[in-house]
Amino acid sequence: MINQNQYIYEYPRPAVTTDCAIFGFDEGELKILLIERGIEPYIGEWALPGGFLNMDEDAETCSRRILKKETGLENIFMEQLYTFSAVDRDPRYRVVSIAHYALVKRSDYNAIAGLDTTTVRWFGLSEVPKLAFDHKSVLNKALERLKGKIKYQPIGFELLPERFTLPDLHRLYETILQESLDRRNFRKKMLSFGILVDTGDVQRGAQNRAPKLYCFDKNKYDELSKKGFYFEL
């Protein structure tokens, strides 16, 4: 018969947390949502939203609970990213983090500071401050995943407004991939997938020739999201 106390003593259990890298695309720039911590450790410093896993929940449930608690965000696209388990990643005790990343349309969500959080703010990737814990590594891993994902699955639906121009989509891809893409080839490639629908309208207030407004064919988009595609110019 197993002696439970002896088992716990021989195999100490680390605490488990979840952290979430939340990306939004705004004014031609990819941004990350950060919280200013209102509690120790690292009180007053910037970090990704995150918190401890309860005994009665899985990692995604925990991540969504903490996200709502600290930022007010809920019902968003989210995927598991990576497990971070460096021995000294938390100054309090042994903590393992199961990180997630999320993509949101900034216009659809109003992030507000919640419990244990002083401030919530979107930062452009070029202006991200020093982050608490190992959250810089979490952010870098999330960016690496996003860069890979955009080459085999469409992700614009989660980041762009309902109606957008091809230059908007082109800018999104260049921003995430961090490289220049030939406009003509990009346009031809994107239209070939059959996921873009011409709305018959144009962008109002544009200088010179107003670009067409497109929306995504949701059924075709979901099909390609599951099946995948190969995007390379």
CATH number for the domain whose boundaries are 13-138? 3.90.79.10
Confidence tier at 3 by pLDDT (50, 70, 90):
low
3-state DSSP assignment of residue 10: helix
**pTM given for the model:** 0.89
Q: Of how many residues is the chain composed?
A: 233
Model confidence over 127-144: pLDDT tens digits? Answer: 999 999 999 999 999 999
Are the beta carbons of 14 and 90 closer than 8 angstroms? no
Mean pLDDT score of the chain: 91
1 has pLDDT over 60: no
CATH number for the domain whose boundaries are 156-227? 1.10.10.10
Q: What gap in Å lies between CA 23 and CA 122, rounded to an integer?
A: 9
Model confidence over 60-91: pLDDT tens digits? Answer: 999 999 999 999 999 998 999 999 999 999 99
User: Where exactly are the structural domains of the chain?
Assistant: 13-138, 156-227
The predicted pLDDT at position 230 comes to 82
